Amino acid sequence: MNGKKTILSGMRPTGKLHLGHLVGALENWVALQHEYASFHLIADYHALTTNLDSSELYRNSIDMVIDWLAAGIDPASSPIFRQSQVKEHTELHLILSMLITSARLERNPAVKEQVRELNIENVSYGHLGYPVLQAADILLYKGDAVPVGEDQLPHIEITREIARRFNTQYRYVFPEPEAKLTKFARLPGLDGRRMSKSVGNTILLSDTPDEIARKMRTAVTDPQKIRRNDPGRPEICLVFTYHQKFNPGEAPAVAEGCRSGALGCVECKRRIAERIAETLAPFRETRSHHESHPQEVLDILREGEGRARTRAQATMADVHAAMNLG
Ligand code: TRP
């Protein structure tokens, strides 16, 4: 640990990742991975809270790891591991579950929103406990910071409450983790809604230049700009958001051309599709290397899971000692 603070970052294994994951999370993880001792968690148990079908979990986890590696996560410095392969997550989850009331969990806006979005009629015990498992994920590594998007803030707050409760009930074991918010606001999907695989409005990190160009042609633009020469409003156009992110040098000229009517949407989309394809080119190369060397990926996981387990066991020893168990 050599004096560095610890980061615990996590994602549910949803398979191949999209640009929203890159901008909203991975870029941040990569930027922080050497400044902090980082642990990268694949939250495969969490995936079960909203989908009991486990048949794709393994494949999705592998696909996600490949995208993490391609985005620049360095497994030599930061272990990558599956929650399900480090038993201590379930053990700490059990202990922490006594330190929070069910009323508090029922008030959690993040779970409420999920229930609304997915039309869940009866929330399972495990789903209600989602943030408790997440607290175990973070506290097991004594995480000081957690890089997340705003939607995760309620979970981090619950983690802090649970840490405080443990520390006062028994003795000090857990630092109270802080959320480290991503700088760039969320990247919208191609239809202007939240970018999400289930909505089908994403550009995947693994998409080819042709796929990127084809998808970009479907993106919604300013509805007032109908013909090429109509003046547009870049500030309300999601294609312009993409220019700001992936083509910052030319963005002012793009905005000017859009406003004056000199630049049509077709050309504007063609240009940004090219820039995105360029940004993702090295990424696709690393990805194809890993896809053709599956054993390397499995070795990275096995090694990461070993390191995570060592750290998790050390924390559980502290927990048991603080509680006089053992
Ligand atoms: N809840 C997170 C999400 O949906 C995933 C997650 C699980 C997580 N455990 C975590 C994130 C621990 C940060 C830290 O994206």
Cα of 208 vs centre of ligand 1, distance in Å, is 29
- The token pair at 34 is 């050497």
pLDDT in tens, 253-286: 999 999 999 999 999 999 999 999 999 999 999 9
Higher pLDDT, 1 or 15: 15
Report yes or no: 319 and 142 within 8 Å, Cβ to Cβ.
no
How does residue 302 score in pLDDT terms, banded at 50, 70 and 90? very high
C-alpha span between 247 and 28 (Å, rounded): 19
* pLDDT value at 32 more than 80: yes
Centre of ligand 1 from the C-alpha of residue 11, in Å: 5
- DSSP class of residue 236 equals G
Tell whether ligand 1 has an atom less than 6 A from the beta carbon of residue 137. yes
How much distance in Å is there from the Cα of 188 to the middle of ligand 1? 20
pLDDT band for 168, please (50, 70, 90 cuts). Answer: very high
Q: Is the pLDDT of residue 1 over 60?
A: no
Residue 316 has which token pair? 């559980």
Number of alpha carbons in the 13 Å side-chain half-sphere of residue 61? 25
Q: Average pLDDT, stretch 302-309? A: 98
The secondary structure element, H or E, covering residue 7 is strand 6-11
Nearest CA to ligand 1 atom 8: 10
Q: What is the pLDDT of residue 3?
A: 85
Instruction: Assign 162 to helix, strand or coil.
Output: helix
Indicate the pTM of the whole model. Answer: 0.93
Is the distance from the beta carbon of residue 111 to the nearest atom of ligand 1 less than 6 Å?
no
Q: Which two tokens stand for residue 142?
A: 């004594």
Strand, coil or helix: 250: coil
User: How many CB atoms are located within 10 Å of the residue 3 CB?
Assistant: 5
pLDDT > 80? residue 184: no
Spacing, Cα 323 to ligand 1 middle (Å): 27
Q: What is the pLDDT of residue 320?
A: 98
- CA atoms of 256 and 123, how far apart (whole Å): 50
Round to whole Å and give the CA distance between 148 and 156.
9
Residue identifier of the C-alpha nearest atom 5 of ligand 1: 11
Is the distance from the beta carbon of residue 300 to the nearest atom of ligand 1 less than 6 Å?
no
Instruction: Tell me how far the alpha carbon of residue 148 lies from the centroid of ligand 1, in angstroms.
Output: 8
144, 108 Cβ separation under 8 angstroms: no
pLDDT digits (tens, 9 = 90+) for 148-159: 988 899 999 999
* Structure confidence at residue 179 as a pLDDT band (50, 70, 90): very high
Q: Which two tokens stand for residue 70?
A: 């391609």
Residue 49 has pLDDT above 90, yes or no: yes
Q: Tell me, what's the pLDDT at 2?
A: 61
Mean pLDDT to the nearest integer, 228-245:
94
Confidence category of residue 26, pLDDT binned at 50, 70, 90 = very high
Question: Residue 93: CB within 6 Å of ligand 1?
Answer: no
The rounded Å distance from CA 118 to ligand 1 centre is 18
Residue 322 has pLDDT above 60, yes or no: yes
Does the Cβ of 139 fall within 6 Å of ligand 1?
A: no
For the chain, the average pLDDT equals 95
The alpha carbon of 226 and the centre of ligand 1 are apart by a number of angstroms equal to 42
Atom of ligand 1 nearest to the CA of 8: 14
**How many of the other CB atoms lie within 10 Å of CB of 200?**
10
Q: Ligand 1 in contact with 143 (CB < 6 A)?
A: no
Query: Cβ distance 186 to 172 under 8 Å?
Result: no
CA of 46 to the centre of ligand 1 (A): 8
DSSP 95: H
**Residue 237 pLDDT > 70:** yes
Q: Can you give the pLDDT at residue 233?
A: 96
Residue 296 has pLDDT above 70, yes or no: yes
- Give the tens place of pLDDT for each residue, 75-134: 999 999 999 999 999 999 999 999 999 999 999 988 888 888 888 888 999 999 999 999
Does residue 190's CB lie within 6 angstroms of at least one atom of ligand 1?
A: no
Quick check: helix, strand or coil at residue 319?
A: helix
Residue 42 Cβ contacting ligand 1 at under 6 Å: no
Maximal CA-CA distance, the chain? 76
